[in-house]
Structure 1
Amino acid sequence: MKIVVFGATGTVGLEIVKQALERGYEVTAFARDPEKLSELRKSNLLIHKGDVLNSKDVEDSIARHDAVICSLGDGRIGKIRAKGTLNIIQSMDRLNIKRFICLSTLGVGDSYENLNFIWKHIMFGFFLKSAFKDHKLQEHYIFKSSLIFTIVRPSALINGAITNDFKIGFDGKFKDLNLKISKEDVANFLLEQLHKEDYLMQAVSISN
């Protein structure tokens, strides 16, 4: 399988690339700064230098691939996710590539009620307000698209390992969460969606 990973140098994106290479996928890692991927020397890795806000860069990287995984991040700034994702969606439409898996965050949509006071009012209400707004707009674009998508909403990311020991697909009323999950588990879950149909055309929440 040939996949493109956007946000390939980010916390989850880099882990996605590493795990995808280990699985034997042909991986195109889209990066504004390819030097950050210089240690990953694999025959099944292609590094595509580009700007996700540049339509031609995006379309050139997606051509002749089977699926796209988006893990765009922009820290607290909150401008790149939605605009970049819209560029990806439009490029996929032009190329008739349909499978799209996107990293979002727990708290968007009905998962907002899964958050505790700190995440609702301090983190997303103040410190990460712009980033949270960007995630919501990003999901809006995806739900309006004609792609075969899966949106993954993890809780706060931590370093760890692949455990496959976390809660999946809970609704907004579920409260028994510690609101953390390893980036390794998140990357693995995103990649697993390439071969599963459990969460097509929907957003799925994951957390410990």
Structure 2
Amino acid sequence: MNLLIFGATGGTGRQLVTQALAQGHTVTAFVRQPAKLAISHANLRLAQGDVLDYAAVQQAMPGHEAVLSALGAPAPQKDALRSDGTRHILRAMTEAGVPRFICLTTLGMGDSKAALPALYKYVLVPLFLRHAFADSEIQEQYIRQSPVQWTIARPATLTDGPRTGQYQHGFPATAKGLRMKIARADVADFMLRQLHEATYLRQAASLSY
């Protein structure tokens, strides 16, 4: 497939690019700073731009069959990168007729809030992640209101471990015995699998080991 990937220079985004290319997809990586990606491949094209610049997103969109987003920002950052960037992506997809959108958010959104460990609920989110979580909530609202064929991936705490293919997905917030962490490589594995599956079409799936 011809894929457009946003957030390609982040940890999960880089895994999306690498795994998609290994699977034979043609990839356009939308990046602000191309040098940060440091991946070279015959089927990789770079589109330089800022996701907060709608004209740049609009220009990059035509000709793709699916879009994957791993947009993220450091916790202290107070802009609306996730929500505004996603709004731009969805608008451009609708205009260009690109049907499939697979987006990374985080465990703790919507009906998955109860799955968060107490440390996150009562310490980390209120003190350090409040803005990031609020922006992700708005991001998910935009996705749910969109006419595209969307899937949301909500991973637990991200790690840099290897891809295992052995993880839990779509579990209820009351599930027990989860490790509440997952490697970025396995998150990318899940997101790419959704290109060929309809299990989570217009649904959000929680991810963890």
Q: TM range, normalised to the smaller chain?
A: over 0.9
Aligned-pair Cα RMSD in Å: 0.9
Match of 1:197 in 2: 198
Query: Which string of whole-angstrom CA distances, capped at 9 and with x for unpartnered residues, describes residues 21-79 of structure 1?
Result: 11111100000111112x31111000110010111110111110000001101121252
Partner of residue 167, structure 1: 168
2: CA distance, partners of 1:40 / 1:74 = 21
Q: How does 1:29-44 map to 2 (within 5 A)?
A: 29-37=29-37, 39-44=38-43
Give 1:170 shift. 0.8
Q: TM-score, normalised by structure 1?
A: 0.97
Structure 1 gap segments, 5+ residues each: none
Give 1:124 deviation, angstroms: 1.4
* 3-state SS of paired residue (1:128): helix
Deviations 1:70-116 (A, max 9, x none): 11011212520000000000011111111000001000011110011
Q: Which runs of 4+ in 1 moved over 3 A?
A: none
**Distance in 2 (alpha carbons) for counterparts of 1:93 and 1:129:** 30
The aligned residue for residue 20 of structure 1 is 20
Q: Is the 8 A contact 1:12 1:183 kept in 2?
A: yes
- Report if the CA contact (8 A) 1:114-1:175 is conserved: no
TM-score (structure 2 length as normaliser): 0.97
| Number of matched pairs | 207
Distance 1:179 1:165 in 2: 14
SS at match of 2:195: helix
Equivalent residue for 2:159? 158
Shift of 1:176: 2.1
Name the residue aligned to 1:180.
181
- Give structure 2 stretches of 5+ with no counterpart: none
Is the partner of 2:194 in helix, strand or coil? helix
1:175: Cα distance to partner? 3.2
Give the Cα separation in 1 of the matches to 2:120 and 2:178.
13
Alpha-carbon distance in structure 2 between the residues aligned to 1:133 and 1:65? 30
